[in-house]
Copies of this chain bind each other. A is one copy, B any other.
């Protein structure tokens, strides 16, 4: 749970109203509020005081279910002008970069702030997120999305071109969601703590090749390139089968770790047999 909720919905709660087939609405409860949907109108007053998970009805007698907002819903709902980062990718990024409570993390670009929300949630009160973007309107949008979660104190939004480098040093992890990460690998190296973790996501193989080249030339190793396919099933016990269609591609994930090579004369002979 992102917020501290009671067992029943209260005024001011950010809630999720879910219809049966995956459509949902995120609203903040207000005594006199109303939600208009194509399945009818629901008054906030009818929700306040209800237990979470309750079935409620619109004025057209269509059922909805009332839940505390979840991070997944926030990610899928976030208003955006940009490509989305999917939960399947975000979960794996967090685990692989080791991002959790207490971490200091940089991301660029901010975009609409989907990953920013996830990072801010997972670094907890003791961690911090530095989020770079060079388009004012995207940053404004991301600020609004973070404010919805009341996590603005965990994030510094910066309006920089990262070609000039990052303000921070010794961060635990750094993630680039920009079209040309290969242009910023030196800057990444300077911002990471020794041994720190780097990640990126890229749509095309051509971009991946460019980044691999830049990583090798700038003191990174333990490079992984992977992609994650998520396949849903129709959840019917007597007719269990995958859905007809699925997302085939969101992006290639690239991970690497900063290394400190020992002086050449010692390493040389050995690294060859290692590379073989």
Contact = CB atoms under 8 A, between A and B. Distances in A.
Contact of A231 (B2, B87, B226): B226
A87 B193 CA distance: 24
A35 interface: no
A248 B245 contact: yes
A185 to B, nearest CB: 13
A212 B227 contact: no
Given A208-B240, A233-B226, A252-B233, A92 B92 contact: yes
Given A101-B124, A225-B232, A231-B227, A193 B95 contact: no
B87 A96 contact: yes
B54 A260 contact: yes
Interface of A: 1-2, 4, 7-8, 18-21, 51-57, 61-63, 65-68, 70-72, 75, 87-88, 90-96, 98, 100-103, 118, 121-122, 124-126, 170, 172, 193-197, 203-206, 208-210, 212-213, 216, 221-249, 252, 254, 257-262, 266-267, 269-271, 274-275
Nearest to A238: B206
Contacts of A231: 226-229, 248
Contacts of A252: 233
15 contacts: A52-B195, A54-B194, A57-B267, A63-B270, A72-B96, A72-B98, A92-B92, A124-B126, A205-B209, A212-B236, A227-B230, A227-B231, A228-B230, A229-B231, A246-B247
CB-based closest 9 A-B pairs = A91-B91, A52-B195, A53-B195, A246-B248, A242-B249, A101-B124, A225-B233, A212-B237, A205-B205
